[in-house]
Amino acid sequence: MNLPLHGIRVMELGSFIAVPYAASILASLGAEVVKVEPLPPGDPFRRGRDADDQYFAQYNAGKKSLSADLKNARGRVVVERLLKTCDVLIHNLRPGKAEKLGLGYEQVAPGLPRLVYAAISGFGNLGPLGRRPGYDSAAQSMSGLYALLAREGEFQATGLPLADNTTGVVAALGVCARLAGRVRSGVGGLVETSLLEVATMLANGGALGSAVRSGTGYSVRSQVYCLECADGRPVTVALGDSDELWSTLSRLVADRSQGRLDLLTGPGWARYRDRLEDYEAIRGLLQEYFKEVDAADAVAALRYRGIPATLVQSYRESVIEGDAAGLLQKCPGTVDLVRLGLSFGETRTSRIPVVPRVGEHTRALLADLRMNDETTQLEAVRAVYCVPEK
């Protein structure tokens, strides 16, 4: 079975994370992705290590690399000819830059009506922030995500490029939606999103929790408790608004604490709305019990009684060492790739497990465009770069 986007060619004009991640999702769905990047050292996200950077590998394995100088008129001709063979263009050029290069939507759409044109920006194309460069940290800061993590006045980052990654997912979804629409209409169209818009979407759930203090909104409303056990391992317990789950948990804790924590089983917290008000007090009492039991024993006892409980694991424990979800795909010479978590029947999404060098596919793509006779001259004027032939 071919993956859903088999036969779709995508041109990526992107660097760092959001656009390369969106394009890698499309590649995982079967699309051929051509990454157009500057002459060596190429995409700055390579960090000067070409194909050997592990972060670059996660976002760019399985793509083809065309190295071209977009400021060079002849380099632009190559890109424009390639674009005519593509179904999708996705870029994160700063608002206004695509137009200066002759690659703005209004410039290319009339001649390529079937093209799906996706543009990712930092803050959208409208308003006073439109031309500012986009950074994940800026989007998380402005959207309220960082504030939602604040505890006792101390702000902290989320620990991952949440805005970048999720914007890549949203952009890929938008591209797929446009491609689906093209089947009916025969016409492509524009797809736009921004780091700030997507980060605001993510912050929405926490922002709606105005009844509780910032930083604990989700935990309080969902009655999720993260508790440290005797062996130092943390465990999460999720009760939601279930009075039945609360009753089961409170009885277990009271019984095993030999009556010290009988307060938990009293009428004061029998109702969900009362537990919302006293979340921190309840957490403190639960912590007294969990500090006396090892994490594995606590999880086993809770699950036996039907209470959702899980060990808190590091990414290394869960994915790299455990790979419980079967998400790792071997990529010789770099790092294991994390698969897109989608399957179609018995077919799992996957990428070609090879990380392209800068300009590795320039020569072959020029031949595909019937420009192979011009390759030497294009290299001579530094319009393109080709990996030297062996």
How far apart are alpha carbons 216 and 214 in whole angstroms? 6
Is 278 a residue of the active site?
A: no
Q: Which residues pair with 385 in a beta bridge?
A: 67
Of 43, 53, 164, 336, the active-site residue reads 164
User: What 3-state DSSP class applies to 106?
Assistant: helix
Q: For residue 375, count other CB atoms closer than 10 A to its CB.
A: 15
Helix segments in the chain, DSSP class H: 18-28, 54-60, 73-83, 97-100, 105-108, 136-143, 145-148, 162-185, 195-207, 217-222, 243-256, 272-277, 279-290, 295-304, 315, 362-368, 375-380
Contact between 219 and 240 under an 8 Å Cβ cutoff? The reply is: no
106's tokens: 């209004």
Cα-based torsion angle of the residue sequence 272, 278, 283, 288 in order, rounded to the nearest 10 degrees: -110
Cα separations (Å) of 255 from 152, 226, 307? 33, 21, 16
Residue 58, CA atoms < 13 Å, CB-side half-sphere: 13
Contact between 89 and 115 under an 8 Å Cβ cutoff? The reply is: yes
Active site residues: 164
